[in-house]
Structure 1
């Protein structure tokens, strides 16, 4: 049965935000003036609500094609190489010679805090005109990372087109949530089978104090299902009829950057394998645990088989409510 699951086919387009992350581990403080300081590790990884999710989906056995924009620069060369090394088809990523590739620098402090410097770059220049819709035919899923960059009407148009081709659709916002952002992307929600934010984004988008109540409001706005991550408290799966709590798993945390993208990938892959919503969310939490235990979404050598094995034996964290 497990081998059959490993062979289950999933062909997915990840559309939108692609970022080159540079992680700096062991940052005690920013040096004064022009002084320097030694750190433990500096590492680059492919990231973003489309790029990072696509990378993890590829590790989990999906056939992944990336759609988005990068610059015509060395950062793009690095980002594309990192994605291609993981088996992601990058041929649909367009180069914008008047924009730099989107990039982040993430200094990770010894206590685990991870502030970031970010440049939007070419992600802000990506439009539907850059996407060859004929390349979506024959796929099974479309995941739109960062619908706020396209805007709700364009995002809704893309998702509706994908649904018309028979694809399952999902979205994940990148920006912090606020009511203006919800209004900006509202046209996309009725065409999204799954919306995959974190709890803080849900509270910000809706103004609610309870993540479950906020998620229900997004369902009422048209989303088929809202699956929100809550860090060490796992995930909530909210539909028109149910609210399901799914716990996180114990892991020695190194860096939580990219865990949300990894959860999205694990959840979507779980659905493609025939799992129910709670089972898919459990696979999402197990996948996020692999990323939390390393540096970047591509840390380590996890794949679908190892994540399923982890899921069979891992201990859940006791804090699941609140």
Structure 2
């Protein structure tokens, strides 16, 4: 049985501007691109040549059909359910000159928010080497319960659990709700990936203190992204900085997801489990190989527009 990186959560359409440096209201033309953080991760793994599955729900509409086709074209096992209860989610993205983004979401509700626990088949989790989820699917029921129930089921089946808080405050009713809900589920994860800004928001602490707090809350490994400066990987016994990769960024959409896909691909390829995770990433050489690779995957993604369309192949990463 081929063990997969299994991702569950939102799958949506990103409308990305053709040029940078304009306010969202002033963008004259957008280009459609498949997106949604967990879907991006699944596609990143597949485009690198790994085995991945995405579990989610889309509307029974042309955008939903396009998203399923995009995942399948990328090589993802698309466990995508269609519904006529809501339409596929949309996100309009404005890109500043520095490549950073502003978002406007259409999710009132979106189809991905309606995924139910009983729709997540056991067979979709039984072959999981890794189960990955984010916080967007924790915002509303029934997807919140479906996400957490699948995490528990996957963990019981022996999967390593990965969690990306991926803070998107415009989607939450208020900031405190986001902070409370996101932190409540740290303990279910073996590995948590956050940015410096997310640590500050969630915990009001600096990088090292915040990462150590996440470990105290139950995570085995905290991965902190540092943008062009790379990342820090912390366990209770180690703190390793892996340098970043210098590129001319045009669009950071999906770069963090590409980074996650890069290190989950590496962990799955190496057969790292929840029981061996800490020892693996505490080794300087192994950690540098895994997360140096992930840094390159993320960096290459920023040199192209969109999320899934910008993801690199293994050959491109090795060439870098």
Q: TM-score range by the shorter chain?
A: 0.7 to 0.9
Q: Distance in 2 between matches of 1:211 and 1:37?
A: 35
1:175 aligns with 2:167: yes
Give the superposition deviation at 1:99: 1.2
* TM superposition score normalised by structure 1: 0.82
Deviation digits for residues 74-107 of structure 1 (CA, Å, limit 9, x no counterpart) = 21112112111111122x2122212111111113
Q: Distance in 1 between matches of 2:116 and 2:165?
A: 16
* Contact 1:56/1:298 (<8 A) preserved: yes
Deviation digits for residues 247-271 of structure 1 (CA, Å, limit 9, x no counterpart) = 2101121111110100100111122
1:142 aligns with 2:131: yes
Q: In the alignment, which of 112, 115, 118 is matched to residue 126 of structure 1?
A: 115
Counterpart for residue 199 of structure 2: 202
CA 1:134 to 1:211, structure 2 compared with 1: closer, same or farther past 3 Å?
Answer: same
Give the superposition deviation at 1:138: 2.3
Deviation digits for residues 196-225 of structure 1 (CA, Å, limit 9, x no counterpart) = 1222112111111x1221111111111111
Q: In the alignment, which of 236, 243, 249 is matched to residue 247 of structure 1?
A: 243
1:100 aligns with 2:87: yes
Residue 93 of structure 1 aligns to a residue whose secondary structure is strand
Question: What is the Cα-based RMSD across aligned positions, in Å?
Answer: 2.6
Once structures 1 and 2 are overlaid, which stretch shifts more, 67-76 or 270-279? Answer: 270-279
* Contact 1:148/1:173 (<8 A) preserved: no
Work out the number of aligned pairs and report it.
295
* TM superposition score normalised by structure 2: 0.83
Residue 53 of structure 1 aligns to a residue whose secondary structure is helix
Counterpart for residue 273 of structure 2: none
Counterpart for residue 159 of structure 1: 151
Counterpart for residue 292 of structure 1: 302
Counterpart for residue 283 of structure 2: none
Counterpart for residue 4 of structure 1: none
Counterpart for residue 303 of structure 1: 313
Give the superposition deviation at 1:302: 2.7
Deviation digits for residues 167-224 of structure 1 (CA, Å, limit 9, x no counterpart) = 111011233476643432445322211111222112111111x122111111111111
Counterpart for residue 11 of structure 1: 4
Counterpart for residue 268 of structure 1: 264
Counterpart for residue 313 of structure 1: none
CA 1:299 to 1:195, structure 2 compared with 1: closer, same or farther past 3 Å?
Answer: same
Structure 2: tracts of 5 or more residues without a match: 170-174, 271-279, 281-285
